[in-house]
Structure 1
Amino acid sequence: MESLRDVRRVMEREAKKGSCPLMFDRLEFGGKPFQPITSEEKLDEALAYLLRLRSFRRYAEKTIINNVYMDLDILCKKPQFKRTHSVIDREGIYARVQRYKKRLQPDYESGLCLETVRCIFTLPEGEAKKCRMTHDGQETYAFIMSNKYILGLFTHCEAARKSVVSDGVEYGHLTEPEQRIVLLDGVGDVLFQALLLDDVGYTGNELSANLHTIYCLNEK
């Protein structure tokens, strides 16, 4: 596994080649970061939403190719993270997660939850102006990044989620059971994870996007 220092070096090289120098800044837990998943139907609905499938295909615009999804090998043993370029790619991930779900046999009464944390990114001063553009008569921004750069951003988000305590992320407003999940206490397998960069917020010099993780709780 690459160190964050190595990842930063790759991102720096990609920025020199033209990738927007967007950088991960911090994680934030909102007021309700956890949603229990109490049935297989709700789990399948959550997966379809994250992958923009079924009734959620209407959300799949061009920027969906920026999303980073957890995928599995044919034996569902080794997770990998990647971007997709078509609905066929996303349907393939969905099918493999279904096989992984059957293997894990999650407890729907108390053993699954969807966590949503906000990832905050910043731009160096003056860079936002370079990304400004007009689309359909409206002013917006286009943040052009290579595959390596986007995967580098995801790596930083994932590492920050694992090091919440040492990074000083605020979570004291959450309930005691929720705080245990934040600390990964009693958390077992990650059934699925996605960083949705097709739905970003932009204020001032900061961008934000959601990192979604489906946890199996009460590991057997």
Structure 2
Amino acid sequence: MSKDLKTLVAKELEKGSTPLMFDSVIVPPEGFREIDSRERLLNVLQYLLRVKEHRKLIWNDTLSANNVYMDVFLGKTDFHRAALITRREEIYQHINWYGGKLKPDYNGKTVIETDVCAFSITEDELEKCKKNYDGKEAYSFYFGKYQIRSLYADCLDYRKNMAWDEDIFRATDEGTQQAAPEHKSPEATYGKYSELFRLNDDVIRAVLFQCLLLDDLRIEGNTVFANLYTIYLLR
């Protein structure tokens, strides 16, 4: 994190942003799945963007505002938060246009990777985020825009480092990261997706879409887990 961004994040925390801290990223062995048709791709995009029939997934606009989505407009790639349904629908249309240009191959060449991002929070701060929704216990987090940018960048940087630094290659055991045994190589763990795990440019043709969903969290103890999704088009 740059010094300037770190300062901006600190100010947001002082103003009441949820003090969630990045820990690490887990790429589970089952984290790679093929998308075998255009219909399936559209459904996945609709789910990730919470549009069409998946719009009902949004029950709290504060939570949906935490999500970070890749957008492509006029050939330029950027990343946005998009709490409003109209903004998410725009991104959906843009990615459809982008996919039309890239022409995905659905014969094993379109793959979605689901990474689990782990964050830590103190017990006291987590208690402040506890809410009641429809008679059930739930959590509501608020993140400042610079804090979101920082958390997202931390996830991406860690994932990139995993690709080439096997010292931080991790297995997961009941939600707790542990160093993988020496014999547990990426090849053994991910099989035909081992080069995709390594983010090998000889394998990856393009990234069609990517997002970090912070409106769908899993909480275990003082660790918060959120999913980072990436749709790759392979060569």
TM-score w.r.t. structure 2 length?
0.83
Aligned partner of 2:220 among 203, 207, 210 = 203
AA matched with 1:146:
G
Q: Is the 8 A contact 1:4 1:156 kept in 2?
A: no
1:158 lines up with 2:175 in the alignment: no
Residue 69 of structure 1 corresponds to 69
Deviation at 1:129, TM superposition (A): 3.1
Q: Is the 8 A contact 2:190 2:197 kept in 1?
A: no
Per-residue Cα deviation, 1:138-188 (whole angstroms, up to 9, x for no partner): 444332222221222111111111111436032645233222111012112
Q: Is the 8 A contact 2:71 2:78 kept in 1?
A: yes
Per-residue Cα deviation, 1:37-77 (whole angstroms, up to 9, x for no partner): 1221111111111111222122122222221111122x12x
Q: What aligned pairs does 1:90-109 form with structure 2 within 5 A after superposition?
A: 90-109=88-107
Aligned-pair identity in percent equals 36
Which range moves more in the overlay, 8-17 or 175-184?
Answer: 8-17
AA matched with 2:147:
Y
Q: Is the 8 A contact 1:82 1:151 kept in 2?
A: no
Q: Is the 8 A contact 1:27 1:169 kept in 2?
A: no
Identify unmatched segments of 5+ residues in structure 2.
172-184
3-state SS, counterpart of residue 143 of structure 1: coil
Residue 189 of structure 2 corresponds to 174
User: Relative to structure 1, is the Cα distance of residues 60 and 141 closer, same or farther in structure 2, using a 3 angstrom cutoff?
Assistant: closer
User: Relative to structure 1, is the Cα distance of residues 52 and 162 closer, same or farther in structure 2, using a 3 angstrom cutoff?
Assistant: same
3-state SS, counterpart of residue 50 of structure 2: coil
Identify unmatched segments of 5+ residues in structure 1.
none
3-state SS, counterpart of residue 163 of structure 1: helix
1:51 lines up with 2:49 in the alignment: yes
Which range moves more in the overlay, 168-177 or 85-94?
Answer: 168-177
For the residues of structure 2 that align with 1:4 and 1:109, how far apart are their CA atoms? 41
User: Relative to structure 1, is the Cα distance of residues 130 and 57 closer, same or farther in structure 2, using a 3 angstrom cutoff?
Assistant: closer
Residue 198 of structure 2 corresponds to 183
Residue 121 of structure 1 corresponds to 119
AA matched with 1:184:
L
3-state SS, counterpart of residue 32 of structure 1: helix
TM-score w.r.t. structure 1 length?
0.88
Which range moves more in the overlay, 207-216 or 119-128?
Answer: 119-128
Aligned partner of 1:32 among 22, 30, 33 = 30
3-state SS, counterpart of residue 126 of structure 1: helix
Q: Is the 8 A contact 1:131 1:143 kept in 2?
A: yes
The CA RMSD measured in Å over matched residues stands at 2.0
Aligned residue pair count: 214
For the residues of structure 2 that align with 1:41 and 1:4, how far apart are their CA atoms? 41
Deviation at 1:131, TM superposition (A): 2.9
3-state SS, counterpart of residue 219 of structure 2: strand
For the residues of structure 2 that align with 1:210 and 1:83, how far apart are their CA atoms? 15
For the residues of structure 2 that align with 1:101 and 1:37, how far apart are their CA atoms? 13
